[in-house]
Amino acid sequence: MRERDAAMALPALKFEPEDPVEERLARVETKVENIQSDITGMKTDIRRLDNKIDALDQKLTGKIEEVDKRLGGKMDSGFDALKAAIADLRIGRANDRVWWLMIAAALLGVMAHGFKWI
């Protein structure tokens, strides 16, 4: 019971009228105008950044193509040098085979003479 009596002893809340609708609408309109001007500024900045990005893209594409051409030329010359080295190696291997055949023939000749086959 005491709780109920205590609740009744509270003073009534003072009713304060809200701002009129026109004042609130005027504030909202002001805020909307500020937002619109900010968005217009953002659009301008985005367009400017878009142009900068396009210019940077073209610049980087040009540099990448230049590097590709240089590396392609170096790789082609490197492949040509590798092909020449392999061709030289094949010729050298053929010469090695001739020498080994001559050594084997000489060894067989010495063995044949030693065993008195000839």
> Do 118 and 112 form a contact (C-beta atoms < 8 A)?
yes
Q: Rounded distance, CA 37 to CA 45, Å?
A: 12
pLDDT in tens, 38-71: 999 999 999 999 999 999 999 999 999 999 888 8
Number of separate domains in the chain: 1
Residue 16 lies in a domain: no
Whether 71 maps to a domain, the answer reads yes
Could you tell me if residue 7 is inside a domain?
A: no
Q: Could you give the CA distance from residue 50 to residue 56 in angstroms, rounded to a whole number?
A: 10
Q: Is residue 101 situated within a structural domain? A: yes
* Model pLDDT, residue 77: 84
From CA 40, how far away is CA 46, in angstroms rounded? 10
Does residue 27 sit within a domain?
yes
Q: Which of 13-27, 30-44, 84-98 has the lowest mean pLDDT?
A: 13-27
Residue 93 lies in a domain: yes
- pLDDT, one tens digit per residue, over 70-106 is 888 888 888 888 888 888 888 888 889 999 999 999 9
Residue 76 lies in a domain: yes
Query: For residue 109, is it within any domain?
Result: yes
13 pLDDT band, cuts 50/70/90, is low
pLDDT band at residue 35 using 50, 70 and 90 as cut-offs: very high
Find the domain containing 69 and state its range: 21-114
